[in-house]
Structure 1
Amino acid sequence: MRPLVSIVVPSYKTVAYIKETMDSILGQTYENLEVIVSDHSSPDGTWELLQPYAQDPRVQLFEQPRGGGAPANWTAATERATGEFLKLVCGDDTIDPTCVERQVDAMLAAPNAVVCASKRRIVNSHGEVLMASRGLGHLRGEVSGPQAVRAAILAGTNIFGEPGCVLLRREALQATGGWDDRFPYVLDLHTYCNVLQHGSFVAVDEVLAAFRLNASQWTIALSQQQSEQVVGFHHKVAEETPAC
């Protein structure tokens, strides 16, 4: 039977965190899932540390050749997914035990929904909580896709959160061409906004994931380009979404 949920894990140089990430995924209360890990030829031992997880029948491990940065690895992992719903969890983040169950329930209760998100904790490289609850803005329950996009643009930030606290309808993601890296710093937010042109958004008002601030993240290297990319992205979305 095809799993209902695909959890894809792009990893790169996450040897210090990947075990915690994988254990959080495999410890979900929701069990009808597959886990696809794509390691981007990490030189730090991440690939070797992942090997024992291949013994779990839900887990598939792949090694992605170097090149293309994070967008290439996100795409490589996602293209192997088969589930109706898709969650991407970066190799240094974690999801709470009931995260997938709560989000699947929310999506099944809203047949027109293409994106579901919850709040998340922000933690540092040691796992210490820097912010106990972040995300969603004023969004609650099911709202139209354009309404959710407008809320994000007006907030000037990613109110949906990083992929670990988001569940996507995979068919809708495919229909938009997958992860959109034209503005790499807002890769996730840009993609959500594309997908939300195809259906509604559901907000689960609970903290169900943790996002780790890590100095080695690929986004840190883009700091000089961030402002320019965010401005360009906002202009693009304003043109494509009515009343933004």
Structure 2
Amino acid sequence: MLPIPSVSVCIPVYKGEKFLAETIRSVLDQTYRDFELVVLDNASPDESGNIAHSFAERDARVRVERNPVTLSQPDNWNRVVELSRAPLVKVVCADDLLHPRCLEYQVAPMDADPGLALVASRRHMIDEQSRVIAPRRGLAGLTGVRTGVEVARRVVRNGSNPIGESNNVLFRREDFFTVGGWRGDRTYVMDLDLWLRLLQLGDFLGLPETLAAFRIGRGTVSSDNSAAIYEQQRTLIEELGDSPYFQVRGVDLTVGKLFAPAGRARRRALFAVSKMSAGKSDSVA
């Protein structure tokens, strides 16, 4: 048994053969070296498992597991965290990327301050060819150390997810299980829902650096379910407004309602740009 590392980077994958190798390489290229990479193959019918094993054969930090049957996304994501061993965890989708210094920048403050529950960075939005289509997104008004109350109010005002997805966030494994992990009834806002529950256990640190990339491609969960995402975000924001812990004010809710349509329009525009870019690449090929 290898020594327990400081960080577990977890990649849950299903039919991820197109981008998985690029994603794994971005993790293994980290300047911070004390981590394990856990790849959970969700009974993929493609070459995802073989791709992951090809890296495990060359790097002892890579561990590949496989589900006997395909699980739902929330169950699969909970399972990959269960398989992790380190006190700090990052979950990276099988088509997203990390900047080489992502762990270096995020682990240090978590080690230095046990009162931090989350560390997040900005991220690029990229297309299917890994080209940046929207640079340095996220964390508007959320850089530096913030309380959970401050973050919740900013989330409500934003009307969307100003923190970001799992690849640009680092959290504590113990906290994850304390709050119950990813929720199956929040498939389209799983990340934001989890961040807010974790922030009832500690503070938030937003880093100004851009340390990850989120891929917007054809057929992704985000691109195909805009209406469902919007509805679940609206429900989550209403719950925040009713929460005695987060103390969301009426003015926050009012501002959020005003800006929510604009946030939805921005997401649609990003998906449209990505599809246009993919279409051009197909025609050239």
When the two structures are superposed, what TM-score results if normalisation uses the length of structure 1? 0.95
Alignment match of 2:199 (pick from 196, 199, 212): 196
1:235 positional shift: 1.5
Asked if the contact 1:18/1:46 (under 8 Å) is kept, the reply is yes
- The one-letter code sitting in structure 2 at the alignment partner of 1:103 is Q
Asked if the contact 1:94/1:211 (under 8 Å) is kept, the reply is yes
Q: How does 1:43-192 map to 2 (within 5 A)?
A: 43-55=45-57, 56-192=59-195
Matched, 1:29 2:23: no
> What is the number of residues matched between the two proteins?
244
Extract unaligned runs of 5+ from structure 1: none
Residue in structure 1 matched with residue 255 of structure 2 by the alignment:
none
C-alpha deviations, 1:73-96, integer Å up to 9, x for none? 111111111111100001000101
Residue in structure 1 matched with residue 253 of structure 2 by the alignment:
none
Asked if the contact 1:70/1:218 (under 8 Å) is kept, the reply is no
Alignment match of 1:243 (pick from 203, 228, 247): 247
- The one-letter code sitting in structure 1 at the alignment partner of 2:247 is A
| Structure 2 SS opposite 1:132 | strand
- Distance (whole Å) between structure 1 residues aligned to residue 144 and residue 230 of structure 2: 31
Asked if the contact 2:152/2:246 (under 8 Å) is kept, the reply is no
Asked if the contact 2:159/2:234 (under 8 Å) is kept, the reply is no
Asked if the contact 1:39/1:73 (under 8 Å) is kept, the reply is no
Q: How does 1:223-238 map to 2 (within 5 A)?
A: 223-238=226-241
1:219 positional shift: 3.5
- Distance (whole Å) between structure 1 residues aligned to residue 209 and residue 78 of structure 2: 28
Residue in structure 2 matched with residue 12 of structure 1 by the alignment:
14
* Aligned-pair Cα RMSD in Å: 1.4
- The one-letter code sitting in structure 1 at the alignment partner of 2:54 is P
| Structure 2 SS opposite 1:225 | helix
1:67 positional shift: 3.8
Residue in structure 1 matched with residue 264 of structure 2 by the alignment:
none
1:224 positional shift: 3.9
1:196 positional shift: 0.4
When the two structures are superposed, what TM-score results if normalisation uses the length of structure 2? 0.82
C-alpha deviations, 1:34-90, integer Å up to 9, x for none? 111011122221112211112221111011244442112111111111111100001
- Distance (whole Å) between structure 2 residues aligned to residue 226 and residue 157 of structure 1: 9
- Go from structure 1 to structure 2 and tell me whether the alpha carbon gap of 1:6 and 1:209 turns closer, same or farther (over 3 Å shift): same
Extract unaligned runs of 5+ from structure 2: 249-285
Q: Identify the structure with the greater helix proportion.
A: 2
1:221 positional shift: 4.1
Larger Rg: 2
- Distance (whole Å) between structure 2 residues aligned to residue 152 and residue 22 of structure 1: 31
* Structure 1 consecutive aligned stretches of length 4 or more whose deviation exceeds 6 Å: none
- The one-letter code sitting in structure 1 at the alignment partner of 2:192 is L
- The one-letter code sitting in structure 2 at the alignment partner of 1:163 is S
- The one-letter code sitting in structure 2 at the alignment partner of 1:33 is F
Q: Percent identity?
A: 33
